[in-house]
Structure 1
């Protein structure tokens, strides 16, 4: 995290307190003994993985989920010792070897990967390489076939160098209001556990993402894997209505220039917006190279003094332009809020995602590293 310079043009504000509070709030929805994995992949959904991981662990998370080996190693370099599961596939011996060195748990999708991991552990003279097995119950992405799940578990357990600590799958449609697949996936997953001679004793079995966690306690099993909700965003409007999640990120920028233009002036590339009156335009030092999606051009507002100011013209690489004609007190150097709270007004990632036909996850993960993250 960075210190904010008074000359900084734009930045993200991240609240570790909000992340910690969200973690505690969500944990209270779980049955006693159900663990909480904080998913901090994609640099903590753009919030800063190390900051998020530390806040979530303070809030009671027992483990962390990342997408890549590099993300896991970043946490270890920062001194974070909690269990870390790599949720994507690692197939090369070199990556699995780094995983063992970094005390990171790889995800296996089949017996071939398990044998490779076991051979690496044997070369190192270790008989404890913790791994987890993923099954495909309906996502058609990573994971072994669920119909072969019980056999895979037993085959991996037969490899003495490996310690199979977890069995999991991923929900495909849990955030859909008319979802029926989730119960099918749950039944498939449970059938694998029930087919094991010991009923899965000693395995941490997990299925629920944020939507699954908020949808039904029946999906919680031994652990939940929470991403979006940890950052204060509900994965769907029908989920979490009674949960006071706290958004953990705000996007702010400074006014770099104010100019007066006559009626009929074209604004920005392509002149997609033309002023219909003498106008006062404010140039803000943030653009699509920072993560303000160009498809939002002319579709968003920013906040100043609790009021909304429309963004006009095409969003450019490094600047956006606001129509400040009706705001007399906006001056050069003032701070405006693109995402977050100002007075009684709030602009959410969901508002942006709805306006450019995407999802809040993509909005949050899209902010680039030339925008410093500042803890508040």
Structure 2
């Protein structure tokens, strides 16, 4: 790293493993590491960081333990004369749950999407930053007992009207949504029926009269008085909000609105 930094030098941040067991130095190794880095004058330690493993649960005792280990690491740096410009521990959950002093930096992720980062808490000031929409590519009436999609995992219990949507698990609309998820059409919920395919899925619009190809279909977001949150999608997929937001594939077109 020192050779790569060259004569210009490099400002570096050191991660401390305070309880995540993912990356970073164990606290007991910090003093020796700081002394080692002093042998390379072109490497300047400017930051110290860690990451909370339980930030989504403000009641977890591990949070206080990790913050204490971080404070101990900061004390080691101060004792050795390491001039820390930046210290950062808190992520979205840690910041909103007030799990400790925010120090000079915070690393917000999920809240940038307006999603809720903590178990059992709702922050009403958060506004979702994205919607996911599509439109039907086929509308059809099917008789009672018609099997739908692969393996016939849903069968019409009455004469039904279905809409086929051009979205599937290759887009991030999970296979787990089969017979579990809903979409919004004309301000009403329409259940996903039959197995979600790679590029397509079907929804039951029998109880939503007048649906046309021009109607917007909401997969994530608000339509009228109804809303589908990323937490709902996560629950339908036996997953959680973070994975759902990361799973929307690159082939789904993005349209950025409201930017300055």
TM-score band by shorter chain is over 0.9
Unmatched runs of 5 consecutive residues or more in structure 1: 1-116
Evaluate the alpha carbon distance shift between residue 242 and residue 176 of structure 1 in structure 2; reply closer, same or farther with a 3 A threshold.
closer
1:199-247 Cα offsets, whole Å, 9 max, x none, are: 75433111111111111162412211100011101112434x3441111
1:88-109 Cα offsets, whole Å, 9 max, x none, are: xxxxxxxxxxxxxxxxxxxxxx
TM-score (norm 1): 0.65
Q: In structure 1, what is the Cα distance between the partners aligned to 2:61 and 2:33?
A: 27
Q: In structure 1, what is the Cα distance between the partners aligned to 2:240 and 2:196?
A: 19
Q: Tell me the secondary structure at the aligned position of residue 249 of structure 1.
A: coil
- Is 2:204 aligned against 1:323? yes
* Within-5 A mapping of 1:277-316: 277-316=158-197
Evaluate the alpha carbon distance shift between residue 303 and residue 199 of structure 1 in structure 2; reply closer, same or farther with a 3 A threshold.
farther
RMSD: 1.6
Q: Which has the larger radius of gyration?
A: 2
* Within-5 A mapping of 1:7-26: none
- How many pairs align? 256
Q: In structure 2, what is the Cα distance between the partners aligned to 1:361 and 1:335?
A: 25
Higher relative contact order (CA 8 A, sep 6+): 1
Q: Please tell me whether the aligned partners of residues 269 and 314 of structure 1 are also in contact (alpha carbons under 8 angstroms).
A: yes
TM-score (norm 2): 0.93
Unmatched runs of 5 consecutive residues or more in structure 2: none
Q: Please tell me whether the aligned partners of residues 118 and 162 of structure 1 are also in contact (alpha carbons under 8 angstroms).
A: yes
Evaluate the alpha carbon distance shift between residue 292 and residue 131 of structure 1 in structure 2; reply closer, same or farther with a 3 A threshold.
same
Of residues 97, 121, 128, the one that matches 2:5 is 121
How far is the alpha carbon of 1:184 from its aligned partner?
0.5
Structure 1 runs (4+) deviating above 4 angstroms are none
Which is richer in helix?
Answer: 1
Q: In structure 2, what is the Cα distance between the partners aligned to 1:152 and 1:228?
A: 32
Q: Please tell me whether the aligned partners of residues 193 and 200 of structure 1 are also in contact (alpha carbons under 8 angstroms).
A: no
- Is 2:60 aligned against 1:176? no
- Is 2:102 aligned against 1:220? yes
